[in-house]
C-alpha cells in the first residue's frame, strides 16, 4: 500500500469489448490493477474455427453487466469510488465494440463521470505500464508522477501482435506513435488460427500450435523448415506465403501416414518462422 501522504488514487473503470472477450478492470493511478475480469468466448468460437462476429456481439451483450459488477466487487469498491469510465472505441468488430462503448458511456453519463475513449492498439501498448496491485508499493512511491521507477523508458519500440494485429510502432514519447511496419495480409494471430485449423489442432491457434511445438522432442532436429517473408527494406510483415507453404508441406507429409510427431514438427517449424521474422525485424528496428 502507498503511504497515507500519497494523493487519493484516481480510479478508472475500464471496459474492453472489441472482439470475443469482455473485459472490465478497476485501475488506480492509471496503472495499478485493482481488479481485472475477463469473460472469454474462445470455447464458443472454437466450434466454428474462428470468431463469428454476430455470435461475438451477442455474447458481449450477455456478459457486459456481470463482468462490470465482478470488476467492482473484486476491487472492493462501489460506484462512489470510481472517478472516470474508459472503453475501447476501436478498431475491432462493430457489433462487439458498441456493446462496451454504449454501456460505458451510459455508466459515465449516469454517474456524472468523464468518459475516455481509448484506441485498441494504444491500449495494447500501454498494457506494458500496468502493475499488479498485489505487489505493495514502497512508501516513497511517487504515485502522482507521470513516470514510475521500472516503467518502460522512452524512446520505445512496440511490436503489437494479436489475433487482429501485427504492427511495429516507434514511440518517442507518451502518446506519439510512428507506424514503422505492419502486415500486408494476415495478422500473425490470424495466421496461427488458420494453421491451427489446417493441422487439426483447434482454435485459438496460438496456444494450440505452441502446445504442439512444445510437445516435440527438442533433442531431435526438426526435419522441416518453413520460409520467412523478409520483405527486405521495410518493416512490414507478410504471413500468407508462409501459410501456403505450411499447407503444401502438410499435404506432402500426408502422402505418408501422418502421425502426431509430424504435426508437432510442422507446428514448431511454423512457429519458428513467425517468431524469427517478428523478432529479427524488431531487433533491427
CB of 120 to Zn ion, least distance (A): 6
User: Within 97-156, which residues bind other proteins (CB under 8 A)?
Assistant: 97-107, 109-112, 117, 119-122
| Window of 20-28, 159-167, 175-183, 214-222 that interacts with Zn ion by CB under 5 A | 159-167
48 binds other proteins (CB under 8 A): yes
CB of 189 to other proteins, least distance (A): 10
Q: What Cα–Cα distance (Å) separates residue 219 from each residue in 38, 101, 216? A: 38, 50, 9
d(CA 251, CA 224): 13
d(CA 285, CA 281): 6
Q: In terms of CB distance, is 44 or 141 closer to other proteins? A: 44
CB of 185 to other proteins, least distance (A): 10
CB of 259 to Zn ion, least distance (A): 35
d(CA 212, CA 268): 7
Longest Cα–Cα distance in the chain: 71
Position among 19, 199, 242, 245 found at the interface with other proteins (CB under 8 A): 19
Is the four-CA dihedral 33, 39, 41, 42 of positive or negative sign?
A: positive
Q: In terms of CB distance, is 188 or 263 closer to Zn ion? A: 188
242 binds other proteins (CB under 8 A): no
Q: What is the per-residue binding string for Zn ion in 211-250, x denoting contact by CB under 5 A?
A: ----------------------------------------
Angle at alpha carbon of residue 172, lines to 169 and 173, rounded to 5°: 115
| Residue 107 binding partner per list other proteins, Zn ion, none, with a CB distance cut-off of 5 to 8 Å that depends on partner kind | other proteins
Position among 102, 162, 210, 282 found at the interface with Zn ion (CB under 5 A): 162
**Number of residues lying near Zn ion (CB under 5 A):** 1
Q: What is the per-residue binding string for other proteins in 71-90, x denoting contact by CB under 8 A?
A: --------x---------xx
Are 157 and 58 within 8 A, CB to CB?
no
d(CA 24, CA 14): 5
Q: In terms of CB distance, is 29 or 124 closer to other proteins? A: 124
Binding site for other proteins (CB under 8 A): 19, 48, 50-58, 60-62, 64-66, 68-69, 79, 89-95, 97-107, 109-112, 117, 119-122, 164-165, 167, 169, 177, 179, 182-183, 187, 190
Amino acid at each position: 500500500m502507498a503511504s497515507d501522504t500519497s494523493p487519493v488514487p484516481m480510479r478508472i473503470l475500464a471496459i474492453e469489448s472489441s472482439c470475443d472477450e469482455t473485459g472490465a478492470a478497476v485501475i488506480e493511478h492509471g496503472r495499478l490493477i485493482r481488479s481485472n475480469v475477463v469473460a472469454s468466448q474462445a470455447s464458443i468460437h472454437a466450434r466454428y474455427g474462428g470468431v463469428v462476429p454476430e455470435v461475438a456481439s451477442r455474447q458481449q451483450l450477455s456478459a457486459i453487466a456481470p463482468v462490470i459488477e465482478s470488476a467492482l466487487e473484486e476491487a472492493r469498491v462501489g460506484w462512489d469510488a470510481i472517478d472516470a469510465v474508459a472503453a475501447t472505441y476501436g478498431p475491432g468488430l462493430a457489433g462487439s465494440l458498441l456493446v462496451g462503448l454504449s454501456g460505458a458511456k451510459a455508466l459515465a453519463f449516469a454517474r456524472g463521470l468523464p468518459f475516455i475513449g481509448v484506441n485498441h492498439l494504444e491500449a495494447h501498448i500501454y498494457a506494458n505500464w500496468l502493475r499488479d496491485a498485489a505487489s505493495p508499493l514502497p512508501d516513497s512511491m511517487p504515485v502522482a508522477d507521470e513516470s514510475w521507477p521500472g516503467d518502460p523508458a522512452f524512446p520505445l519500440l512496440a511490436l503489437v501482435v494479436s489475433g487482429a494485429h501485427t504492427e511495429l510502432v516507434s514511440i518517442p514519447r507518451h502518446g506519439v506513435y510512428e507506424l514503422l511496419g505492419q502486415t500486408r495480409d494476415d495478422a500473425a494471430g490470424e495466421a496461427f488460427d488458420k494453421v491451427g485449423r489446417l493441422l487439426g489442432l483447434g482454435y485459438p491457434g496460438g496456444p494450440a500450435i505452441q502446445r504442439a511445438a512444445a510437445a516435440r522432442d527438442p533433442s531431435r532436429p526438426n526435419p522441416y523448415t518453413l520460409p520467412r517473408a523478409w520483405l527486405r527494406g521495410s518493416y512490414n510483415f507478410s504471413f500468407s506465403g508462409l501459410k501456403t507453404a505450411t499447407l503444401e508441406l502438410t499435404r506432402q507429409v500426408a502422402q505418408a501416414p501422418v502421425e502426431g510427431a509430424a504435426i508437432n514438427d510442422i507446428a514448431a517449424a511454423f512457429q519458428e518462422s513467425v517468431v524469427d521474422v517478428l523478432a529479427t525485424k524488431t531487433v533491427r528496428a
